[in-house]
Amino acid sequence: MSRAGKQRMSVTIDADIVAAVDRAVRASGESVSAWVNKALRERLEHEARLDALGVALREFEAEHGAMSDEEIAERVRDMRSRAIRVPRTSASKAGESRRKYGTRRPAR
């Protein structure tokens, strides 16, 4: 059955995930369908970005050759040495939780 471009589907989900989704949905005020739709859309966008990265990497390697393990390790060390470290605070942990469970910041 389809409603305004929507399609019903039945899925089997691990019990711990169902419990986490239930908590997130209660906290966000969204329906389970809206919450799951958003999560699936975000996953599809993530997969599309990974696919694009794979294409870019193959094109780079076709032009410049594959990077050796040593070159990759050197780049990782270089990036880590230049990274700005930000200490985690309780506020950043709360933000992480809101992102993880799709909840919104309480109104002030």
40: in domain: yes
Note the pLDDT of residue 94. Answer: 60
Range 3-10 average pLDDT = 88
Domain count of the fold of the chain:
1
In a domain, 22, yes or no: yes
Residue 94 lies in a domain: no
In terms of residue numbers, what domain contains 39? 11-88
Q: Establish if 5 belongs to a structural domain.
A: no
Q: Kindly state whether residue 54 falls inside one of the protein's structural domains.
A: yes
DSSP string over 47-105: HHHHHHHHHHHHHHHHHH-PPPHHHHHHHHHHHHHHPPP----HHHHHHHHHHHHT--P
Does residue 72 form part of some domain? yes
**Nearest by Cα to 99 from 45, 28, 50:** 28
Name residues whose C-beta falls within 8 Å of residue 22's C-beta, 6 or more positions apart in sequence.
Answer: 32
Give 36-87 pLDDT, tens digit per residue: 999 999 999 999 999 999 999 999 999 999 989 999 999 999 999 999 988 8
pLDDT at 87: 84
Instruction: Evaluate whether residue 17 is within a structural domain.
Output: yes
User: In the block, which residue shows the tokens 């809101």?
Assistant: 98
Q: Is the pLDDT of residue 21 over 90?
A: yes
